[in-house]
Amino acid sequence: MQLTRLAPPHLRPFVRLMWASSPDGTPVEQPGAREHVLPTGGMHLVFRLSGPSLRLFHDGADVRGFTVGYAMVGGTRSAFFVRDVSVTTRSVGVMLQPGAARALLGAPEDALAERHTPLEALWGADANFALEQLHGTDSLPRQLAIVVALLEARLASSAMHGLHPAVAQALARMSGASANDDDGQAGAIGQLVKQSGYSHRRFIALFRGMTGLAPKQYARMLRFDHVLGQFAIQPARPWVELALEAGYSDQAHFNRDFLAIAGMSPQAYRRAAPVSSRHVRI
């Protein structure tokens, strides 16, 4: 069972989506089960409320892995990661908006990107206090209300509020524009730099600090996200049609990008038939 909600209006500049989940019935155990978690282009704050702590693997050949904890921040990523899913767990979390990390977590996005960070490293003892509060109820709506209160308190004590205007303008233009090929992206990003009024180096630093990714990486994730979204709606459509519609120059270019981001070919992804587009059992 999963409950998904938008954040309250006053938190929406910082929180894109909230969710709480709980397995129906007795937790299912599947020893050795793993999944590829595909990037969303955003950062996640997650509290695991049952089962073992989160275990990740460096790659498919890693048999030992490493644990992160029960409260963690999943930084913005440009490619998949591998996690243990041998036991179904209860959890609650949020997906953050670009620019929210400094206000809610006390660190810029680029310092947290491409990795998982224990929340205790950012919140100190408040991370354990948050877990204690969440363990105090099995109600999914109540768990989301607790997370809202925690984020409100963090925001009230923060001096940082919102996106840098140059980055906000760039994100609006990138989200509103149609996907394009790599050469087109380079030209479009050059235009964004020019419109920002900053030097190329300064603009890239501002953008990375607010999103965790460089502009070209972010545009790449938008294009990949467009393909996954369309595939979820029309799973029978040929990949080449989806790729060209999204702006890939050809199918070979699409296949290379898909493999790099998802850790599997488009054909393998289709065969896996994931219930959730970002979580693929392997």
- Does the structure show a pLDDT above 50 at 248? yes
Distance set, CA 139 to CA 83, 90, 145, 204, 247 (Å): 26, 11, 10, 43, 44
Three-class SS string for 226-265? HHHHHHHHCCCCCHHHHHHHHCCCCHHHHHHHHHHHHCCC
Closest CA to 43 of 79, 6, 96: 96
Q: How many domains does the chain have?
A: 2
Q: Which residue has the tokens 């498919």?
A: 60
Q: Note whether residue 86 is domain-resident.
A: yes
Q: Note whether residue 121 is domain-resident.
A: yes
In this prediction, residue 127 carries a pLDDT of 97
Mean predicted confidence (pLDDT) in 44-48: 98
* Predicted model pTM: 0.90
Phi and psi at 47, nearest 5°, equal -115, 120
In this prediction, residue 124 carries a pLDDT of 97
Q: What is the mean pLDDT of the chain?
A: 92
Q: Note whether residue 210 is domain-resident.
A: yes
Sort residue 44 into left (φ over 0), alpha (ψ -120 to 50) or beta.
beta
Is residue 133 domain-shared with residue 97, that is, in the same domain?
yes
Closest CA to 227 of 255, 200, 199, 205: 255
Range of the domain at 65: 2-156
In this prediction, residue 162 carries a pLDDT of 76
- Does the structure show a pLDDT above 50 at 221? yes
Domain end call among 156, 180, 203: 156
Domain end call among 156, 181, 203: 156
Q: Which residues contact 237 (CB under 8 A, 6 or more apart)?
A: 230, 231
Domain end call among 105, 131, 156: 156
In this prediction, residue 16 carries a pLDDT of 95
Rounded to an integer, what is the distance from CA 170 to the centroid of its chain? 19
DSSP string for 112-131: HTTSEEETHHHHTHHHHHHH
- Of the listed ranges 81-95, 137-151, 169-183, the least confidently predicted one is 169-183
Q: Which residues contact 253 (CB under 8 A, 6 or more apart)?
A: 181, 182, 243
CATH code for the domain of 252: 1.10.10.60
Is residue 16 domain-shared with residue 148, that is, in the same domain?
yes
Mean predicted confidence (pLDDT) in 77-90: 95
- Does the structure show a pLDDT above 90 at 161? no
- What percent of the chain has a predicted confidence (pLDDT) above 70? 95
Distance set, CA 125 to CA 7, 128, 155 (Å): 25, 6, 17
The β-bridge relationship of strands 279-281 and 34-37 is: antiparallel
- Does the structure show a pLDDT above 80 at 186? no
Confidence band, pLDDT 50/70/90 cuts, at residue 25: confident
Is residue 35 domain-shared with residue 147, that is, in the same domain?
yes
Confidence band, pLDDT 50/70/90 cuts, at residue 181: very low
Q: Note whether residue 279 is domain-resident.
A: no
In this prediction, residue 59 carries a pLDDT of 84
In this prediction, residue 177 carries a pLDDT of 60
CATH code for the domain of 110: 2.60.120
In this prediction, residue 183 carries a pLDDT of 45
Strand partners, 20: 3, 92
Q: Note whether residue 222 is domain-resident.
A: yes
Is residue 125 domain-shared with residue 264, that is, in the same domain?
no
In this prediction, residue 182 carries a pLDDT of 52
- Of the listed ranges 22-31, 61-70, 82-91, 120-129, the least confidently predicted one is 22-31
In this prediction, residue 153 carries a pLDDT of 95
CB neighbourhood size of 241 (10 A): 12
CB neighbourhood size of 267 (10 A): 11
In this prediction, residue 187 carries a pLDDT of 61
Mean predicted confidence (pLDDT) in 101-124: 96
Is residue 78 domain-shared with residue 175, that is, in the same domain?
no
Is residue 29 domain-shared with residue 58, that is, in the same domain?
yes
